[in-house]
Structures are given as structure tokens and as C-alpha cells.
């Protein structure tokens, strides 16, 4: 009898020490997300969307014009698709349609984030609404294309500040709207923007500047600097994440849309960015808010989540050792983010899923707080790796 008890005890110890499977991890996170996203709805005033938490832990909201407005609807779509929960699907439909008028909004370079992350996923969740969703997405692509300059070969980013024609690395993400829902001419604009980004945004070590300012008359580069990183010469972590994700996405989209040469160029660039990140990321996979910020520096869960999603996608289009190392890093990042250090407990965080992201450290904005885009790319990465 004692022998049986001893054997059972040893088996229990080994079972508790066994690594949680990725399917179990995804299930655990999506169970939490289902609760948290519904909780978020109960905390939101009518017509508002989540932004972050303030220093007192209270919910900060935004209107639909905030660049992050598409992430909460997108997270609801992911959770509804993963769980087949009808309440989540109803909320996804409700909050996506908050953004109906954005396709006609002027002067937003982030229309891709806002519409592709919401309506782009809503289209998959509600195929019966595909015609209406596609119309919104095509109108949004027209709006983004209106910001393209044939002189600079890029879409303009900000309309504020001291720059003449600023282009930020973040804008690689908005190109997905042009590639998926734009005309062939608009797809060519996206390819031009990505090619100009390769030419002008990257340093020799494949880290990227945050902002490149162009002369709108000549198309020449005026200056290269940061707006949200530690210094003009540093590697702002979320900017590096945008680069990895953006060029991986462009490689996939160009392949699907019939631009094989462009696809090869963008895949090669994504691979070089990935190699740089794989060398620089810490043991737990989650970067500090800027790779070159002085110690101690806060971690940025949002950058880790974006990278994880991109690493999974890149692993599917590259080969050999790099593919294996990308998926290994993505798994490491997801396991870290799914740990108690980063994952909110049920009922905490006003309905957010992840803690410890950094929005804009130089401006002391959204520092060490939950952020909607951290949640979105975390859920996307889990869906992607579950499909592998």
C-alpha cells in the first residue's frame, strides 16, 4: 500500500512539473479572455471604447477616432471565433459597428489599424455580412490611399508636429488594408511604401528608426529620429515589433496577390529583422520598452505580443533553423505572457487581459499599464500558434 501511495505521489509531482501544452495554455487564456472581455463591456460607457487604466486603476476610454479603437472589437472577434460563444459574438458585432463611420473619416493614417482589426475580423466571424464589411474596408483603403505621395513613395503618417512629411515604422501595419481590400493601384502603393521603408528606415544592424521625415517636394530624407523611443539612435522595442510584423505580413500578402518578387524582398527583410531580434531578446522573450534604454527599464508586453504573432507567421513562410527558432521564441513569449506576472486575474484590470505594457515612455503616457493592442496581438498569436 505504501508503495502504491509513493508511486502515486511521484506521478503527481511529475504531472505538476510537466509543461502545459500550447492547446491547454490557449484554452486557459481564452477562457479568461471570454470573462474579461464581457467584463470590459459592463465597464464601458455607451459609445466608448477601452484605452488603458489610469494611475488609480480606473478605466480610461476613447471615442472611435482614437487609433486603437479597432482592437477591442477585434479581440471580441478572436474570442468569439475561438470559443463559439454567442454573447461574445454579439458584443463583437455591437462594437465593430460603432466604427461604421470611420471608413469615411479624413486624415487618419491609422485607418488600417482601426478597420482591419475590427471589420477585417468581423468579416470572418459573420460571413453573412461580408458584402457590407467589404464595402467599409474598401472605403477605408481609399482613405488611406489618399495619403500616398508619388514623390516620397509612401503614405504620410502624422499631420501634427514639426515634420514636413513624417513616416513612422508603425505605418507598415496599415498597409494590410491596402493589400487585402485595395485596388491593384493601391496595392502598388503599399509595395512602394514598404520598399521605401527598407531603403530609409533601417540601420546596418536591421534595427529601425521610428520616424523618417521626407521633403514632400523632392522626396529626399530630411532626418531620422524617434518619437516614442529612448533616443534617436536606440531601438524602440514596439517599433522593432512593427517592422517584424509588417514585413512578414507584406511577404504573405504579396505572395497571395501575385507579386512574387516583392514577396521575396519583404520576406528577406523580415528574416533579417527576426535574426536581429532573436539575438537581442532576453531569456523570457519579453523586451524592455527600448532595447537600448538604461537599466532598470520596464518591460513592454505589447511589443512581446506583437513579436510573438509575427514570429508564428514568419515561421510558416521561412525554412530550416530560422523557422524553428521563430516558433520557439513565439512559444517562449506566449508562455511568459500567460504567466501570473503578465496575465490579469479574472475580474481584475477592468476587463483587460495583459498587464505591464508601455505606450509612450518619453511623454510619460500609458506606462506599465494594460493596453488594448497588447491584448489583441496576444490573442492573435495564440490563435495562430494553435493552428500550427
The catalytic residues are: 110, 170
Between the CA atoms of 10, 11, 15 and 16, what dihedral angle is there, to the nearest 10 degrees?
-30
Distance CA 293, CA 207 (A): 14
Residues 6 or more apart whose CB falls under 8 angstroms from that of 141 comprise 177, 178, 181, 182, 183, 186
| Cell 490573442, residue located | 379
Which of these, 161, 284, 167, 157, lies nearest to 222 by C-alpha position? 167
The values of phi and psi at residue 70, to 5°, are: -85, -10
Amino acid at each position: 500500500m505504501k508503495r502504491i501511495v509513493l508511486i502515486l505521489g511521484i506521478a503527481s509531482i511529475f504531472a505538476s512539473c510537466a509543461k502545459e501544452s500550447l492547446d491547454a495554455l490557449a484554452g486557459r487564456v481564452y477562457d479568461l479572455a471570454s470573462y474579461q472581455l464581457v467584463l470590459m463591456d459592463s465597464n464601458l460607457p455607451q459609445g466608448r471604447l477601452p484605452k488603458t487604466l489610469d494611475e488609480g486603476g480606473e478605466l480610461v476610454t476613447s471615442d472611435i477616432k482614437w487609433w486603437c479603437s479597432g482592437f477591442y472589437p477585434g479581440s471580441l472577434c478572436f474570442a468569439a471565433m475561438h470559443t463559439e460563444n454567442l454573447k461574445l459574438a454579439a458584443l463583437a458585432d455591437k462594437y465593430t459597428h460603432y466604427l461604421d463611420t470611420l471608413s469615411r473619416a479624413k486624415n487618419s493614417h491609422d485607418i488600417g489599424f482601426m478597420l482591419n482589426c475590427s471589420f477585417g475580423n468581423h468579416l470572418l466571424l459573420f460571413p453573412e455580412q461580408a458584402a457590407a464589411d467589404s464595402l467599409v474596408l474598401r472605403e477605408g483603403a481609399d482613405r488611406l490611399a489618399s495619403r500616398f505621395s508619388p514623390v516620397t513613395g509612401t503614405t504620410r503618417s502624422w499631420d501634427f508636429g514639426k515634420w514636413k512629411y513624417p513616416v513612422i515604422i508603425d505605418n507598415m501595419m496599415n498597409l494590410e488594408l491596402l493589400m487585402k481590400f485595395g485596388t491593384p493601384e493601391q496595392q502598388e502603393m503599399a509595395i512602394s511604401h514598404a520598399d521605401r521603408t527598407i531603403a530609409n528606415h533601417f540601420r546596418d544592424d536591421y534595427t529601425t528608426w521610428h520616424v523618417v521625415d521626407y521633403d514632400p517636394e523632392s522626396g529626399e530624407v530630411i532626418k531620422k529620429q524617434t518619437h516614442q523611443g529612448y533616443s534617436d539612435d536606440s531601438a524602440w522595442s514596439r517599433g522593432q515589433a512593427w517592422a517584424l510584423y509588417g514585413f512578414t505580413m507584406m511577404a504573405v500578402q504579396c505572395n497571395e496577390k501575385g507579386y512574387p518578387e516583392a514577396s521575396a524582398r519583404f520576406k528577406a527583410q523580415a528574416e533579417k529583422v527576426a535574426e536581429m531580434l532573436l539575438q537581442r531578446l532576453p531569456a523570457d522573450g519579453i523586451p524592455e520598452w527600448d532595447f537600448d534604454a538604461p537599466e532598470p527599464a520596464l518591460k513592454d508586453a505589447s511589443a512581446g505580443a506583437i513579436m510573438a504573432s509575427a514570429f508564428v507567421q514568419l515561421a510558416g513562410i521561412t525554412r530550416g533553423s530560422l523557422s524553428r527558432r521563430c516558433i520557439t521564441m513565439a512559444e517562449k513569449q506566449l508562455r511568459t505572457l500567460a504567466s501570473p506576472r503578465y496575465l490579469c486575474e479574472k475580474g481584475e484590470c477592468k476587463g483587460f487581459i495583459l498587464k505591464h505594457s508601455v505606450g509612450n515612455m518619453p511623454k510619460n503616457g500609458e506606462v506599465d499599464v494594460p493596453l488594448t493592442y497588447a491584448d489583441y496581438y496576444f490573442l492573435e498569436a495564440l490563435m495562430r500558434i494553435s493552428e500550427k
